[in-house]
Structure 1
């Protein structure tokens, strides 16, 4: 609860946080941390020094209480507007007490004002195993401008998984203090290395600029700060935040702080900040009419590509656990939302190009999210259990012989089921007209039930034209895919929609010549010739007329000749459908094989014919080339 037990870094951080609180209050300008080979960590600042007087009601000096007693710190009186700890890093009050408790030895040297008014003095107190080893002692006098605290810590390895300080984490922590407190000089000295000093004049802006160098920023960095004046919104004077933010192609992880404490897991201040950014960007987009109709933006669309560093200041911040990795203060959400919204709106309107770039990113993210939400995976599996319920499958597993008929309508599907050769012919009735999938993303086509059923029945996934056809057709279950529709305008439309689907999303089928169209015959001519009945199926009127002419020349009377015209497949009996469209010996199939080199030209033509925004082009095409079409009206 009170510290992380992986390594002693956090107990050292407690001492660093106290020094940073002095800098935050304006009483310290330098912090230095030194690690030696023996495992000792020294934290020194030039703040006012830990108080050495005896607090009212206590019998021990404040410096001893701070290191030995929980909740004995000086960070609880938030009503004093001049308190050094007004915006300190925590409410728990554990602080350096946990540092002392988990250390073999702690030495504290303090240079501060003498509580009895004898000028400044140099004091020392030593702890071992958490207990006082050497009581607080005044060593000597010191000058009136000499003040600060020095703490030497020897962590006790028995309490940690590893006794070593995590130098990378410590470096990041100290650097962040320099970033969050512009002008503060922070120095780190590691064993056998030269001291490293950080001091930033621009603070968050400079730091974020370093972070986003490799993230391809697409907007300028917006640095800013907003603090409450105490007269409105219900927040105390000084509460608010400073920030630097930018939008990038690949957004690095955000960094957030509360009263200089790094909140590695974010919290309510981060969520409030994101909410304020979202409201500001959405207002800008609405004001400039940048939001497409029917597109609903959500917060992640706007802030998903945002890189930022956030430093919040709050009275009495509430954290999840003593390690303070996540802020849980409820008021922080409202505070941060208020702090960023108006300044960001003003910045967006002052930088319209950046605002439009952010809007474009948000729209792209929203559209991608919408497509992902609509994405429907084809149901996978093996065996008959996964096949569509309307599919009447064949018995053979030899795809060189197997055929599947995609039949228009349940009525024709019923006749086809009775007419088929069940050994190698499968029937899949299609209900209504198939979706025009020319401009539909591959991830979304399976939302249409008929398309989904076809893909499952065929046993293949949607693919693009540049894939290896053999690899794309690994799971194919039928060697012939036969489109069987009525010989009318609606039937032709269904054929075009199915061919559009295959060309756009299953092109390997056409490149390998698996797709065909059955040409059902329109007429049946019956007559009795020399006492024997004769029936002839005709594909078109010319063939019908030629057949009648031939029968008349054979002596058949015109009254004895009966002509039946089939309006659709549903009117055919099973034996008629078998003879005209399904019997391999008597049917007429039109193969629809394509060469890969033809795909670009076909793509252009199908965009003209099937594209949603190509109405004017289609009209021009019909006016120019419509006379070439062979229509049955």
Structure 2
């Protein structure tokens, strides 16, 4: 008989609606890094850089004050400080106290910013929410405006005075931030990381001087790179010689052909690439001046363009070796690069913008890089021959290393599952296993995969919730048994270390429908791996594939071929449709389809959207901002058998976010 717990009343009054900046204060880890306040300071720096990127101002000064506050001052246009025509409130209050308010939503010729790192109108308001002091001074239109905030609230009302021509600058903004220590493990901005950030920004903005002033020591550092990316890459290579001269390029979408392929004028990239035989590998990428340490689709485009250009050169000059198949990893293994992309509507992974997700940017960057490198190689044939010899040698070494590892068909626990469609490669680090929902999707995946290194294991429906299942009873479930046997790893007992010596796949990819049932299957599989195969997650072997939810079919028009464009979600769909409208394509000229499941995709579609390594969205499974114990507690609350009451409370707290997304 169930016992009614005291204090567990659930009624209309239990529903709490967080307003303004309260969500940020309650869950800061959802909006920023909480190890230190560098990221919230970077949000202010990025706003200043966006002004410089738009062509306003040539100098940005960042000051570390003795009280650990940070000031950022630019020479831009200055934030408007009048009343908003629609909201009837002061613009300076709106942009710093409301989420999703800013000047970077209108990405067109009439907007204030065409290319910018700011997307959501969230960044500086998050900084304000997590700061006990947030002061803003604006010089604009011959006047000086000043306002002060604390924890997101106005504590010093706006004052406006006439500018003194002898003292006040013509235009610009200065923001002083004092991070609140209670939100961070350390309230001090790490000086070395800040220096690195500012230096890399200067590289990406030739002609812009970025200055760092440190009041405690009186030091003043300045960065201004005349040669931009080249100088920065050579500095990063630490003096090691390059195999061939640097390959540099800068190209942007200008022609109608590119624009009508859903790329807007001005989108593109600049890059510098080096091959080194020894020494460190130095790789950095940026999107609209925002660093992307986890890479993303722009890096995939660079990789794809370089590979196909060199492969074409090798075929043209008959430089291939018998029995050796060249792979992208052979070409890219010893590549160092700096890549700076400009994207009209960048879609990042998370608010901290660590990875670019725009699927179409792969094709754009690949097209620009490939054509440039093909021309360069044919103009420098001797350098091309030397590079071809180098990468073919690496391919031979890879093949020899793979031959030392025999194909395993049994590990003493069971014969490989009959429904497993295995791959041909013996290279565990390269091999991938896709756990696919249902036989229908499994059939498409089997036909669409690259059989050399991709294996398919279809699963029948939802697996057992194994969160509270003992190890000795796991194999009573056929699906769990088949997964364990296929990957070649036994589940652990208590706190023992998993034996990964027989692991058969470097990547284990969960591939489920982009709907509620698919999400449930993902959760059950993630619970299985986290509880019973934790080292697979610790060592980065588990991934979640993200198939698209929509397809847009745009018919051929004029000289442009028909296109099939895919969107991960409704926000990406909106971006695609907006770009089609900007290209003057009639609204009736395209159709939008929603995928009900992976089984609706044919083999080519599944490959193009979800399995192609150069284009797909493959998310590594990591603990994130919670540690192991907190993650265990959270999962127990979410799927544990005796946690219904805790789940109800948690859902009540999150209901406003669900409503906001409907």
Q: TM-score, normalising length from structure 1?
A: 0.57
CA RMSD of aligned residues (A): 1.8
Which position in structure 2 is the counterpart of 1:6? 35
Larger Rg belongs to: 1
Give the alignment of 1:580-591 within 5 angstroms: none
Give the alignment of 1:466-615 within 5 angstroms: none
Give the alignment of 1:267-306 within 5 angstroms: 267-306=296-335
Which position in structure 2 is the counterpart of 1:266? 295
State the distance in 1 between where 2:158 and 2:315 align. 65
Give 3-state SS (helix, strand or coil) of 2:256's partner. Answer: coil
How many positions carry a matched residue from both structures? 373
Which position in structure 1 is the counterpart of 2:157? 135
The correspondence for 2:337, drawn from 302, 305, 308, is 308
Moved more, 212-221 or 146-155: 212-221
State the distance in 2 between where 1:75 and 1:139 align. 28
Match status 1:369 vs 2:398: yes
Q: Residues 428-453 of structure 1, C-alpha deviation per residue, up to 9 Å, x if partnerless?
A: xxxxxxxxxxxxxxxxxxxxxxxxxx
State the distance in 2 between where 1:198 and 1:121 align. 30
Give the alignment of 1:357-506 within 5 angstroms: 357-376=386-405
Which position in structure 1 is the counterpart of 2:382? 353
State the distance in 2 between where 1:225 and 1:146 align. 33
The correspondence for 1:226, drawn from 247, 251, 258, is 251
- Give 1:90 shift: 3.4
Contact 2:106–2:112 at 8 Å: present in 1 too? no
Contact 1:178–1:186 at 8 Å: present in 2 too? yes
Q: 1:356 to 1:323 in 2, by over 3 A?
A: same
Which position in structure 2 is the counterpart of 1:174? 198
Q: 1:147 to 1:284 in 2, by over 3 A?
A: same
Contact 2:105–2:120 at 8 Å: present in 1 too? no
Which position in structure 1 is the counterpart of 2:54? 25
State the distance in 2 between where 1:136 and 1:266 align. 41
Match status 1:194 vs 2:223: no
Q: Which runs of 4+ in 1 moved over 4 A?
A: 142-145
The correspondence for 2:232, drawn from 194, 198, 207, is 207
Q: 1:127 to 1:355 in 2, by over 3 A?
A: same
- Give 1:245 shift: 0.9
State the distance in 1 between where 2:63 and 2:169 align. 23
Contact 1:90–1:319 at 8 Å: present in 2 too? no
Give 3-state SS (helix, strand or coil) of 1:16's partner. Answer: helix
The correspondence for 1:40, drawn from 69, 78, 85, is 69
Match status 1:240 vs 2:268: yes
State the distance in 2 between where 1:376 and 1:285 align. 29
Give 3-state SS (helix, strand or coil) of 1:53's partner. Answer: coil
Contact 2:47–2:118 at 8 Å: present in 1 too? no
State the distance in 2 between where 1:306 and 1:332 align. 20
State the distance in 1 between where 2:52 and 2:110 align. 14
State the distance in 2 between where 1:175 and 1:112 align. 28
State the distance in 2 between where 1:343 and 1:189 align. 40
- Where does the alignment leave 5 or more consecutive residues of structure 2 unmatched? 1-29, 413-662
State the distance in 1 between where 2:220 and 2:90 align. 34
- Give 1:223 shift: 1.9
- Give 1:293 shift: 2.2
State the distance in 1 between where 2:344 and 2:315 align. 35
Q: 1:353 to 1:313 in 2, by over 3 A?
A: same
Q: Residues 194-229 of structure 1, C-alpha deviation per residue, up to 9 Å, x if partnerless?
A: 200011111111111111234431111122100001
Match status 1:86 vs 2:110: no
Q: Residues 405-438 of structure 1, C-alpha deviation per residue, up to 9 Å, x if partnerless?
A: xxxxxxxxxxxxxxxxxxxxxxxxxxxxxxxxxx
Which position in structure 1 is the counterpart of 2:625? none
State the distance in 1 between where 2:73 and 2:298 align. 30
Which position in structure 1 is the counterpart of 2:508? none
The correspondence for 1:51, drawn from 69, 80, 84, is 80
Moved more, 222-231 or 197-206: 222-231
State the distance in 2 between where 1:239 and 1:56 align. 32
Give 3-state SS (helix, strand or coil) of 1:47's partner. Answer: coil
State the distance in 1 between where 2:111 and 2:200 align. 23
Contact 2:137–2:175 at 8 Å: present in 1 too? yes
Give 3-state SS (helix, strand or coil) of 2:238's partner. Answer: helix
Contact 2:251–2:269 at 8 Å: present in 1 too? yes
State the distance in 2 between where 1:296 and 1:274 align. 17
Q: 1:378 to 1:73 in 2, by over 3 A?
A: closer
Which position in structure 1 is the counterpart of 2:536? none
Q: 1:82 to 1:172 in 2, by over 3 A?
A: farther
- Give 1:377 shift: 6.8
Which position in structure 2 is the counterpart of 1:158? 182
Match status 1:183 vs 2:207: yes
State the distance in 2 between where 1:213 and 1:361 align. 21
State the distance in 2 between where 1:4 and 1:145 align. 34
Contact 1:274–1:303 at 8 Å: present in 2 too? yes
- Where does the alignment leave 5 or more consecutive residues of structure 1 unmatched? 114-119, 380-384, 386-633
